[in-house]
Structure 1
Amino acid sequence: MNQYSSSYQENLFYGASQLIIERAGALRKNMTPAEMRLWKFLKNKQILKLRFRRQHPIDIFIADFYCHQIILVVELDGEIHNNNETHEYDENRTSELERLGITVIRFKNHEVMENLEEVIFKLKEICTNLLR
Structure 2
Amino acid sequence: MVSEIARKLRKAPTSAEKKLWSELRKLRSQGYHFRRQHPVEGFIVDFACLSQKLIIEVDGAQHQLTENAKADAARDDRLSWRGYRVLRFGNGLIRENLDGVLLEILAVLGAVAKNE
Name the CA distance, whole Å, in 2 between partners of 1:21 and 1:91: 23
The residue that corresponds to 1:93 in the other structure is: 75
Give 1:69 deviation, angstroms: 1.0
Name the CA distance, whole Å, in 2 between partners of 1:34 and 1:49: 23
State percent identity of aligned pairs. 35
Task: Write out the 4+ residue segments of structure 1 that deviate beyond 6 Å after TM superposition.
Answer: none
Give 1:100 deviation, angstroms: 1.1
Give SS of 1:39's match.
helix
The answer to whether 1:26 aligns with 2:8 is yes
If the length of structure 2 is used for normalisation, what is the TM-score? 0.93
Name the CA distance, whole Å, in 2 between partners of 1:112 and 1:44: 16
Between Structure 1 and Structure 2, how many residues are aligned?
114
The answer to whether 1:49 aligns with 2:8 is no
1:24-74 deviation line (CA, Å, top 9, x unaligned): 111000111000000000114347330000001012200000001101000
The answer to whether 1:36 aligns with 2:22 is no
If the length of structure 1 is used for normalisation, what is the TM-score? 0.82
Q: Which has the higher helix share?
A: 2
* Structure 2 unmatched ranges of 5 or more: none
Name the CA distance, whole Å, in 2 between partners of 1:72 and 1:103: 5
Coordinate RMSD, CA, aligned = 1.2
* Structure 1 unmatched ranges of 5 or more: 1-18
